[in-house]
């Protein structure tokens, strides 16, 4: 989880990822963040994100993102 | 007859009163309702003198209705939005000195340090669709050189530049656009750009002229591109005039593998160079759509040149040729006009779209609104863009670089110098240099000094609008220098890729 939080802080350092659980639903992440997010997740975890992956279900919290990464890599 | 922006609404109202003029997917405003609100709103603004009217509102149909109410009152509007941050809004207000702010967030607007009357947007005209339709609009008796709106752009000295644009400037923009775009009363425009910027003039007033429909796209949809395209389809959007990075965002994420826009006919991109690779993705997904590059500045009321993209996408997409009723010239360093291909010079723009100057700023006005360099027989004012350009072998204009460090990010014009200046005002920052990492659509700020990154970020956050904030802040021991002793921006741009 620490590795993911460090990656997410590179996307937007002003977000408290440990407690935030509506990153997409409450529009905490903005469209510019998104481009960085796709890039950072690719460089850190070598996963390719598609538009269909960018849903609240997959990205609303750090925990969900971690589950999503594991699913993508398995 | 004098052509004013209000004429567009008057004519469309008479032709198609019950047609939807604006929707955001939730509310719908017909031309009759829009005109009714504008006429009633104009009356409630009559007690505030002739000063400009600031409008601090989120992107919404109501915001456009308020703009029109201000125009119907014969005044100029100053569009602002909360996400610019209080510091920027106060700076613009202190410069423009409005006597009233119309807002959808009275609490926020009353909290501003600039002091003037605050009116709730919903109260200036009736939001009730039934009542105002019967209200008469008094015909405006104004010259077309009257200011219609005042837009702000980033300025390298740290003070935002404000550009007053007249009805004539805006009508020239709309009329030229209507001749180069395949749009009609049946068109539905998907509005991505912020209403505070010049690009929105194209969407809003072309649509009003045609009696077409504006579909305002919520910013939040751009985080979920599949939903965005589904929304475009549900709304049968056929024309997009977006900033290049917003188009790239959709294609880069592979959205078209899941869903494609079904009704599109025209796509224009503006604000920054379009990535040719991403344009190819758009073109191959939508082979029947026409794609155009639009080149423009706030100072000349948006698009002054355009390029229709042919079957193959060139690696450098030209800005193309002048739009109707607009002049372009490339001037070499020796002051002569460039006509041969391949020779670089600075691009100048002429015509009735050129603004009269910057607001309250004779110095910067004199630098950018200059006499036509090709003759000195009478004052013939043209806009000096700061863009370096040349003709290619096809006779199209291609941009080569900028004289300064102006960039566009998601439709916002940013002077990197302004960001650097603010960074240097932060305690413990000795030097700073910001670079645009266009491949990743972000700004990286490098700095030297004892300041902690978090303290610098906190300072910038207070001082600048959120769209100007760097995505990465990196502390260095020293900034790399060129042999001539200047900060080596090329090297830093290269280094930015590593962070």
Token pair listed for A59: 């990205």
Q: With contacts defined as CB-CB under 8 Å, which chain A residues touch B258?
A: 50-52
Those residues with Cβ within 8 angstroms of residue B257's Cβ, 6 or more apart along the chain or in another chain = A50, A51, A52
Query: Collapsing DSSP states into helix, strand and coil, what is residue A31?
Result: helix
- Give pLDDT tens digits for B336-383: 999 999 999 999 999 999 999 999 999 999 999 999 999 999 999 999
Mean pLDDT (chain B, rounded): 92
Rounded CA-CA distance B153/B198 in Å is 9
Residue B386 lies in a domain: no
A15–chain B nearest CA distance, Å: 13
In chain A, the percentage of residues whose pLDDT exceeds 70 is: 99
Structure token pair of residue B471: 């995505």
Query: Are A51 and B220 an interchain contact pair (Cβ–Cβ within 8 Å)?
Result: no
Looking at the structure, tell me whether residues B296 and B423 fall in a common domain: no
Instruction: Sort out which chain A residues have CB atoms less than 8 A from B220's CB and list them.
Output: 27
Most A CBs within 10 Å, among B223, B247, B411, to test the A interface: B223
Encode A26-65: b = buried (16+ Cβ within 10 Å), e = exposed: ebbbbbbbbbbbbbbbeeebeeebebbbbbeebbbbbebb
Name, in order, each residue with C-beta under 8 angstroms of B14's C-beta and a sequence gap of 6 or more: none
CB within 8 Å: A51 and B461: no
Give the count of beta carbons closer than 10 Å to the beta carbon of residue B26: 9
Question: Residue B291 falls within a domain, yes or no?
Answer: yes
Tell me how close the Cα of A58 comes to any Cα of chain B, in angstroms.
12
Distance, CA of B454 to CA of B459 (rounded, Å): 9
CA B222, chain centre distance (Å): 18
Higher pLDDT, A39 or B64: B64
Taking CB atoms and an 8 Å limit, are B253 and A50 in contact across chains? yes
Residue with tokens 């609240």, as numbered in its chain? A56
- Domain end: B300, B334, B355, which one? B300
State whether A32 and B409 contact (CB < 8 Å).
yes
Phi, psi of B31 (to 5 degrees): -60, -35
Residue A49 C-alpha, separation from nearest chain B C-alpha, in angstroms: 7
Residue B146 lies in a domain: yes
Query: Residue B476: which H helix or E strand, with range?
Result: none
Question: Which chain A residue is nearest to residue B409, measuring alpha carbons?
Answer: A32
Q: Quick one: pLDDT at residue B135?
A: 56
Angstroms from A32 CA to nearest CA on chain B: 7
Nearest CA in chain B to A56: B224
Beta pairing, strands B406-409 & B321-322: unpaired
Tell whether B54 is covered by a domain.
Answer: yes
> Which of A30, A32, A50 shows the shortest C-beta gap to B254?
A50
The domain of B417 spans 409-496
SS3 B250: helix
CA distance A61 to chain B (A): 15
Given CB atoms, is A16 within the 8 Å cutoff of chain B?
A: no
pLDDT(B115) > 80 = yes
Any idea what the CATH number is for the domain that residue B121 is in? 3.40.50.12780
Provide the 3-class DSSP secondary structure of residue B436: strand
- Domain assignment of residue B378, yes or no: no
ipTM tops 0.85? no
Q: In whole angstroms, what is the distance from residue B308 CA to residue B321 CA?
A: 10
In a domain, B126, yes or no: yes
Cβ contact (<8 Å) for B258 and A51?
Answer: yes
Tens digits of residue pLDDT in A10-29: 888 888 998 999 998 888 88
Q: How far apart (Å, rounded) are the C-alpha atoms in residues B306 and B325? A: 13
For the segment B237-271, what is each residue's pLDDT rounded down to a tens digit? 999 999 888 898 899 888 999 999 999 999 999 98
Answer yes or no: do B225 and A51 touch at CB < 8 A.
Answer: yes
Q: Say which residue the tokens 């032709």 belong to.
A: B15
The predicted pLDDT at position B398 comes to 94
pLDDT at residue B272 in the model = 79
pLDDT at residue B129 in the model = 45
Q: Give residue B130's pLDDT.
A: 46
* Nearest residue of B to residue A28, measured between CA atoms: B220
pLDDT at site B490: 86
Residues sharing a CB contact under 8 Å with residue B271, sequence separation 6 or more, in sequence order: B193, B199, B243, B244, B245, B408, B410, B411, B413
Cβ contact B224–A55 (<8 Å): yes
Query: Which residue reads 């007033």 in tokens?
Result: B205
CATH number of the domain bearing residue B466: 3.30.300.30
User: Based on the domain organization, do B44 and B183 belong to the same domain?
Assistant: yes
Task: Find chain A residues with C-beta within 8 A of B255's C-beta.
Answer: 50-51
A30, A38, A51 ranked by CB distance to B255: nearest = A51
Interacting residues of A5 by C-beta distance below 8 A, sequence separation 6+: A17, A18, A62
What pLDDT, on the 0 to 100 scale, is given for residue B140?
Answer: 87
Q: How confident is the model at residue B156 (pLDDT cuts 50, 70, 90)?
A: low
Domain boundary among B285, B300, B315: B300
Extended strands (E) in B183-340: 188-191, 213-216, 239-243, 266-270, 290-297, 302-308, 321-322, 327-331
Residues B20 and B145 in one domain: yes
Q: Which domains can be identified in chain A, with CATH numbers?
A: 2-73 (1.10.1200.10)
What CA–CA distance (Å, rounded) separates B171 from B3? Answer: 7
Lowest mean pLDDT among B90-94, B218-222, B229-233, B470-474: B218-222
Q: Which H or E run contains B417?
A: helix B416-425
- Chain B residues with CB-CB distance to A16 below 8 A: none
B162 within a domain of the structure (yes/no):
yes
Is the per-residue pLDDT at B76 higher than 90?
A: yes
Structural domain tally of chain B?
2
Are B296 and B444 found together in one domain? no
Evaluate whether residue B176 is within a structural domain.
yes
Same domain for B287 and B434, yes or no, is no
Cβ pair A35:B225 closer than 8 A:
no
What is the C-alpha to C-alpha distance for residues B385 and B23, in angstroms, rounded to an integer? 35
Measure CB to CB from residue A51 to each of B220, B254, B454 and give the nearest one: B254
DSSP character at residue B307: E
Q: Do B219 and A10 touch (CB under 8 A)?
A: no
Whether residue B295 sits in one domain with residue B415: no
Q: Are B39 and B72 in contact (CB under 8 A)?
A: yes
Residue whose structure tokens are 């100053």: B78
Domain end (from B266, B283, B300): B300
| Six-digit token string for B459 | 């300072």
User: Would you say residue B56 has pLDDT above 70?
Assistant: yes
């Amino acid at each position: 989880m620490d590795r993911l939080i460090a990656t997410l802080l590179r996307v937007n350092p002003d977000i408290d990822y440990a407690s935030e659980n509506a990153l997409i639903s409450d529009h905490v992440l903005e469209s510019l963040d998104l481009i960085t997010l796709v890039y950072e997740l690719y460089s850190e975890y070598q996963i390719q994100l598609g538009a269909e992956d960018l849903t609240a279900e997959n990205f609303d919290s750090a925990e969900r993102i971690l589950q999503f990464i594991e699913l993508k890599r398995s | 007859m004098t052509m004013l922006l209000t004429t567009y609404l008057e004519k469309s109202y008479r032709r198609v009163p019950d047609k939807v003029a604006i929707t955001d997917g939730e509310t719908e405003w017909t031309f009759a309702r829009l005109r009714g609100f504008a006429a009633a709103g104009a009356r409630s603004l009559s007690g505030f003198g002739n000063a400009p009217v600031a409008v601090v509102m989120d992107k919404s149909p109501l915001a456009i209705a308020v703009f029109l109410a201000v125009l119907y009152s014969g005044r100029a509007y100053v569009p602002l939005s909360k996400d610019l941050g209080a510091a920027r809004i106060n700076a613009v207000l202190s410069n423009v000195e409005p006597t009233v702010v119309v807002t959808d967030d009275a609490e926020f607007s009353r909290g501003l340090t600039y002091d003037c009357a605050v009116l709730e947007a919903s109260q200036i005209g009736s939001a009730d669709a039934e009542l105002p339709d019967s209200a008469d609009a008094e015909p405006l008796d104004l010259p077309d050189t009257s200011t219609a709106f005042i837009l702000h752009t980033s300025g390298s000295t740290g003070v935002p530049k404000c550009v007053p644009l007249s009805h004539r400037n805006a009508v020239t923009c709309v009329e030229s656009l209507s001749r180069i775009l395949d749009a009609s009363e049946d068109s539905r425009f998907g509005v991505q750009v912020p209403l505070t910027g010049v690009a929105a003039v194209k969407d809003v007033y072309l649509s009003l002229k045609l009696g077409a429909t504006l579909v305002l796209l919520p910013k939040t949809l751009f985080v979920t591109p599949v939903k965005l395209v589904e929304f475009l389809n549900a709304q049968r959007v056929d024309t997009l005039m977006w900033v290049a990075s917003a188009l790239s965002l959709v294609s880069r994420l592979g959205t078209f593998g899941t869903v494609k826009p079904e009704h599109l006919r025209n796509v224009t991109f503006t604000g920054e160079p379009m990535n040719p690779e991403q344009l190819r993705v758009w073109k191959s997904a939508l082979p029947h759509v026409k794609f155009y590059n639009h080149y423009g500045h706030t100072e000349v009321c948006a698009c002054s040149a355009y390029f229709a993209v042919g079957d193959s996408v060139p690696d450098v997409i030209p800005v193309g040729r002048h739009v109707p009723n607009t002049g372009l010239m490339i001037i070499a360093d020796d002051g002569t006009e460039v006509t041969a291909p391949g020779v670089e010079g600075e691009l100048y723009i002429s015509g009735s779209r050129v603004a009269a100057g910057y607001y309250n700023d004779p110095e910067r006005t004199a630098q950018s609104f200059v006499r036509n360099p090709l003759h000195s027989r009478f004052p013939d004012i043209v806009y000096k863009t700061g863009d370096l350009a040349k003709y290619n072998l096809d006779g199209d204009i291609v941009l080569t670089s900028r004289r300064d460090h102006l960039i566009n990010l998601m439709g916002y014009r940013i002077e990197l110098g302004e960001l650097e200046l603010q960074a240097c005002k932060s305690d413990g920052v000795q030097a700073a240099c910001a670079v645009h990492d266009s491949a990743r659509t972000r700004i990286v700020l490098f700095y030297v000094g004892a300041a902690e990154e978090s303290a610098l970020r906190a300072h910038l956050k207070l001082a600048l609008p959120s769209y100007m904030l760097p995505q990465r802040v990196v502390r260095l021991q020293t900034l790399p220098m060129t042999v001539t002793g200047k900060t080596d921006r090329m090297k830093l741009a290269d280094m930015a890729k590593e962070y």
